[in-house]
Structure 1
C-alpha cells in the first residue's frame, strides 16, 4: 500500500496521505467504533509494532479527507456470470432506538438514511453501494448500482423486489444484457410492447395471473433473494449508529463499514447442510 500520496502535478496544496492510507485509518475507526482522536493513537501504535517510521494523519486531516474520500470496496469475484441481488434497508443515523426510548423516555426524534446494496449471489460479496435520504425510493438507485459494476462484467440476472417494477429499471437491466427477476405489482397492467424489456415484463404479468405468484417465483428462482435479506441483517448490525453527521462523511463511513463486511465474508461463512 502506498501510504503517502504521489504528486498531483497541479498548483496549490498537495495532499500528504493517499486515499488508501486514509481509508485504512477510517477502517480501524469503523471496525472498533472509536472516535477520530483515538483512531490516530491506535494507528500510531500499530505502526510502531510493525516498526514502520510513517507519519500519522491527525484527526482533523481524517475528518477533512473523509468528506471527499473515494472509497475502494474490495471484492472477490465469482466463477461465472454475476447474479446481482438488489435490496435496500434503513439505517438510523441519529436518535435512540425504539426500545431505549420506550424504556427510558426522552426525545423520539430520529434521522434515517437509506442503504442500497447490490450483492453477488455466489460469493456473498457486496459489489455496489448507494446511500440516500429516507425520501428516495429504491427504483431511482438501481441505475447507479449497475454503473458501479464494470462494463466488462457479465450480469446474468438482477433479482429485485416489487419496488423496482418500473420501465426505467427494466430498461437499464436489459441494457446490461441481464434478465430482470422482478415480481410485478399486484395491480400491474400490461405495458406497450415497444421494447424487449416491456415484452418480458408483460410475460411475467400474464404468468402471475395464469400460474400464480408462488409458482412463478419458484420457476424464476426469485427465492434466491433471501440471501440478500440475510446480508441486509448483517449490514444493519454493522452500519447502525454511524458517528458522522455530515451527509458526505456519512456516505464514506458506511462505505468503509461495507468493506469491513466484505472482509468478514472472506474470512468464512457458515455452510448449512440438511441432515436426514
Structure 2
C-alpha cells in the first residue's frame, strides 16, 4: 500500500504587533480613505461650473474616487454611482453631481494612475518581478474541476514589480497571456535601474537582453536555465560585465548545487513576489471586472494603488516560533 510523502516542515510565525495591525485592518474600510476634503472641494467646483460644451464635468480625481470606492467595496459601476449618491444624501450634499456608469466606464480607459514609482527616486532597492494570471471570461474553477470546461476561458497576465523590503508595488503592467515575462520586465525596468542594488526573480528572467537592462551594478539573483553554459568572450568582443556575473552563478551552481547557491544569495526572498500576488488575489479576487483592455489596465493599477495604501496604513510584524 503506497503512502503519501511526508510534507516538509514549515516554520511557524506569530504576529507581534497584532493590536496595531488589527486596528489598521479596520481602517481599511473607512470611506474617508478615498472620499476626503480635497476631493469634495473639487466636487463643489464641478457643481458650480455645471455642464459646458466641450469640457469635462468631472476632473480625474473625482473619477478616481468613484472607481476606488467601487473597487474597495466590491461594487459594479451602477452600484458605485448609487453608493456615492447615498453618501452625499447622508452628508447633506445631495446637490453634488455624480458621474453615471457610462462616464465612469469611458473615463476609466484613459485615467492616469500613479501608484508611486519609487524606482526613479528610491535608494538601494531590493526588487523582484513576477507574474500571475487574471481571468477575464470563463467558468468557475469548481465547475471546471468537476465537469471540465465547456466554454472559452480567457486570461490576462499581471506583472508586478515589488520592493522586497517594504512589499510596496513599484510598477504594474497588464499584458496578454502569451507575453514573455522577460520582455515585459525589460519594458518595466528600462532606464529605471540606477537605484536598484539587488534583483531577485525566477529563471524566466534569465535572458541576456533583460540582464543587460539590469546592468553590472545590480546584483542579479536569477537562477540560470538547467542547460546554461559558461559564456566566453573574444579579443575583438570582450564579455560584458552582466554575463561575467552570470558565469559566476553558473559556476557556483555546477560546483555546489542550486540549493546552496539559493541559500547563500537569499533567493528565498523571491517568495515575497508571490506574497504580493497572493495579497492581490485575496483582497480583489482573481478576475477582472472590465472588458476593454485599456479599462483592465486602469483597473489593476488602481487595485495596486489601493494595496500600497493598505501597506502604508499598517502591516504585520511577524517573528519565527521555535
TM-score normalized with structure 2 length: 0.75
Query: Unaligned 5+ residue runs, structure 1?
Result: 7-11
1:9 is matched with none
Q: Is 1:69 matched with 2:69?
A: no
CA contact (8 A) 2:118 2:170 kept: no
1:31 counterpart residue number: 72
Q: Aligned equivalents of 1:35 and 1:274: distance in 2? A: 41
Pick one of 142, 146, 169 that aligns with 2:185: 142
Q: Aligned residue for 2:231? A: 191
Q: What runs of 5+ residues in structure 2 fail to find an aligned partner?
A: 1-37, 47-52, 234-238
Per-residue deviation, 1:253 = 1.0
Q: Equivalents in 1 of 2:63, 2:149: separation in Å?
A: 37
> In the alignment, which residue of structure 1 is the partner of 2:81?
40
Partner of 1:99: 142
Map of 1:1-276 to 2, 5 A cutoff?
1=38, 3=42, 13-51=54-92, 54-74=96-116, 80-103=123-146, 107-147=150-190, 154-174=195-215, 177-193=217-233, 194-237=239-282, 238-276=284-322
Gap change, CA 1:75 and 1:200, over 3 Å in 2: closer
For 1:194-244, what per-residue CA distance to the aligned partner results, in whole angstroms no more than 9, with x for missing partners? 211111111111111011111111111111111111121122232422211
Q: 2: CA distance between counterparts of 1:118 and 1:148?
A: 14
User: Between Structure 1 and Structure 2, how many residues are aligned?
Assistant: 268
Tell me, what secondary structure is at the counterpart of 1:265? Answer: helix
Greater relative contact order structure (CA < 8 Å, 6+ sep): 2
Q: Could you say which structure has the larger radius of gyration? A: 2
User: 8 Å contact 1:82–1:154 — kept in the other structure?
Assistant: yes
Q: Is the 8 A contact 2:133 2:286 kept in 1?
A: no
Structure 2 residue matching 1:119: 3-state secondary structure: strand
The answer to whether the 8 A contact 2:190-2:213 is kept is no
